[in-house]
Amino acid sequence: MLYVLGTAIIALGILISVSLHEAGHMLTAKRFGMKVTRYFVGFGPTVWSFRRGETEYGLKAIPLGGFCKIVGMTPQDDDVDPADEPRAMWRFPVWKRTIVMASGSITHFALALIAAWFAAMFVGLPNPDLPTTEAEIRQEPAVIAVTDCVYAQQPTRAGCQPGDPASPARAANLRDGDRITAVNGTPVATWGEMTQTVRNTPPGKAKIDYVRDGTPGRVDVELAAVQRAPVGDPNGPKSTVSALGVELTIQKPATVTYGPVDAIGATARYTGDMAVGTYHAMKRIPEKVPALWAAITGAERDVDTPISVVGASRLGGEALENGVWQILVFLFISLNFFVGVFNLLPLLPLDGGHIAIAWFERARSWVFARLGKPDPGRVDYFKLMPLTYAVILIGGVFTLLTVTADVVNPITLFSR
In the chain, % helix, strand, coil (3-state, to 5) comes to 50, 20, 30
Helices and strands of the chain, counted as H and E runs: 10, 11
Range of the domain at 310: 88-130+255-416
Whether residue 283 is found in the same domain as residue 230: no
Whether residue 144 is found in the same domain as residue 215: yes
Whether residue 394 is found in the same domain as residue 320: yes
Mind listing the pLDDT tens digit for each residue in 196-239?
999 999 999 999 999 999 999 999 999 988 888 887 777 778 88
Q: What is the mean pLDDT of residues 118-140?
A: 90
Cβ burial, residue 236 (10 Å; 0-12/13-18/19+): exposed
Q: Is residue 7 part of a domain?
A: no
Q: Is the pLDDT of residue 159 over 70?
A: no
Q: Is residue 160 part of a domain?
A: yes
Whether residue 314 is found in the same domain as residue 375: yes
- Residue 85 C-beta-side C-alpha neighbours within 13 Å: 4
Name the E strands within 151-232: 179-183, 186-187, 204-212, 215-228
Q: Is the pLDDT of residue 359 over 90?
A: yes
Cis peptide leading into residue 75 (ω within 30°): no
Specify whether the CB–CB gap between 129 and 253 falls below 8 A.
no
Q: Is residue 120 part of a domain?
A: yes
Model confidence band, residue 131 (pLDDT cutoffs 50, 70, 90): confident
Whether residue 125 is found in the same domain as residue 141: no
The amino acid at 153: Q
Q: Is the pLDDT of residue 380 over 60?
A: yes
Whether residue 216 is found in the same domain as residue 171: yes
Which residue among 202, 223, 248 closes a domain?
248
The amino acid at 250: I
Whether residue 216 is found in the same domain as residue 353: no
Mind listing the pLDDT tens digit for each residue in 11-56?
899 999 999 999 999 999 999 999 999 999 998 899 999 999 999 9
Which residue among 219, 248, 277 closes a domain?
248
Mind listing the pLDDT tens digit for each residue in 242-290?
889 899 998 888 889 999 999 999 999 999 999 998 888 888 888 888 8
Q: Tell me, what's the pLDDT at 257?
A: 94
Catalytic residue among 22, 318, 321, 361: 22
Q: How many residues does the chain have?
A: 416
Let me know if 321 is a catalytic residue.
no
Q: Tell me, what's the pLDDT at 175?
A: 93
What CATH number should be reported for the domain holding residue 153? 2.30.42.10
Whether residue 197 is found in the same domain as residue 281: no
Number of domains forming the structure of the chain: 2
Whether residue 226 is found in the same domain as residue 138: yes
Q: Tell me, what's the pLDDT at 267?
A: 96
